[in-house]
């Protein structure tokens, strides 16, 4: 009967002080505002935790050179330095080449889309950079594999005498050794939300290509990443 008692008491209170009623309404309004705010914060926190969990543990996108083909390659003698006795390995050749790069990009995530905002493949000979190519930026849905191709142009790259000689020999032997680097700058996308920050992913590989003079043409023979 406590309920009946308090109700009776309240009725009396109201009768005693006429401005308690609006004050009580204001208090109720205040409490419900706090309640709504609290609920909103709770939902926001939950959403943030979900996004964080998704983003802190995203699968790295996987990048892989599927093929590298030399379509043409020319080593020309173009002495850039005078050959002197104290310079036994002068820079006396230049390299020009067109190389087709076929790159596979795989987004292994189940819910996250990725945006490859920058994707570059750089080739090295004898650990020195000889050329690179940018790919057009593209979106990739979850679980998607995209294969893209681009021509990498090597233009007037200076070679030392020993480098030109060993490149000549490896072309004749059908085993041209290059090194490669894939660098990808990625943004993650969940629904309509896209991360404002980027992450870089890099893959370094040792490559062996067959020569363009080989009977079956130039192809990637060996890859170690
Ligand atoms: C990957 O996405 C691209 C672009 O949306 C699409 O053209 C391609 O067919 C997809 N590949 C697979 C294997 O689903
Ligand atoms: C490499 O081969 C090219 C063309 O076959 C030739 O002109 C050049 O002299 C060679 N360079 C060396 C260092 O053997």
What average pLDDT does the structure give for the chain?
88
Mean pLDDT confidence for 36-65: 85
Q: What is the pLDDT of residues 64-81, one digit of tens each?
A: 999 999 999 999 997 666
Answer whether residue 164 shows pLDDT above 70: yes
Q: Where are the alpha helices (DSSP H) in the chain?
A: 2-16, 20-56, 161-172
Nearest ligand to the CA atom of 92: 2
Range of the domain at 95: 62-224
Which residue owns the Cα nearest ligand 2 atom 9? Answer: 77
Do 72 and 52 belong to one domain? no
Which residue owns the Cα nearest ligand 2 atom 4? Answer: 75
Nearest ligand to the CA atom of 90: 2
Query: Is the Cβ atom of 144 under 6 angstroms away from ligand 1?
Result: yes
Task: State both tokens at 143.
Answer: 């679980």
Do 185 and 131 belong to one domain? yes
Q: What is the pLDDT of residues 88-108, one digit of tens each?
A: 888 889 999 999 999 999 999
Instruction: Calculate how far, in angstroms, residue 209's C-alpha sits from the geometric centre of ligand 2.
Output: 19
CA angle 10, 15, 21 (to 5 degrees): 65
pTM above the 0.85 mark?
A: no
Do 170 and 69 belong to one domain? yes
Question: Domain boundary residue among 15, 38, 56?
Answer: 56
Do 85 and 164 belong to one domain? yes
Question: Domain boundary residue among 16, 32, 56?
Answer: 56
With CA atoms as reference, report the closest residue to 101 among 13, 7, 178: 178
> How many separate domains does the chain show?
2
Do 195 and 175 belong to one domain? yes
């Amino acid at each position: 009967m406590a309920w009946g008692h308090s109700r009776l008491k309240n009725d009396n209170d109201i009768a005693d002080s006429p401005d308690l009623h609006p004050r009580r309404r204001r208090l109720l309004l205040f409490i419900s505002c706090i309640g709504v705010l609290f609920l909103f914060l709770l939902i926001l926190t939950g959403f943030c935790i979900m996004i964080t969990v998704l983003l802190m543990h995203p699968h790295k996108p996987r990048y892989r050179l599927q093929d590298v083909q030399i379509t043409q390659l020319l080593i020309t003698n173009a002495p850039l330095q005078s050959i002197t006795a104290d310079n036994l390995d002068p820079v006396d050749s230049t390299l020009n080449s067109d190389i087709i790069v076929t790159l596979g990009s795989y987004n292994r995530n189940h819910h996250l889309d990725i945006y490859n905002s920058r994707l570059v493949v750089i080739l090295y000979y004898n650990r020195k950079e000889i050329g690179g190519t940018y790919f057009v930026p593209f979106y990739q849905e979850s679980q998607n594999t995209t294969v893209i191709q681009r021509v990498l142009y090597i233009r007037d790259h200076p070679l030392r005498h020993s480098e030109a000689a060993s490149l000549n020999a490896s072309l004749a032997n059908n085993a041209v050794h290059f090194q490669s680097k894939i660098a990808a700058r990625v943004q993650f996308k969940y629904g309509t939300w896209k991360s404002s920050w980027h992450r870089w992913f890099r893959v370094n590989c040792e490559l062996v290509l067959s020569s363009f003079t080989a009977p079956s043409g130039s192809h990637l023979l060996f890859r170690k990443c």
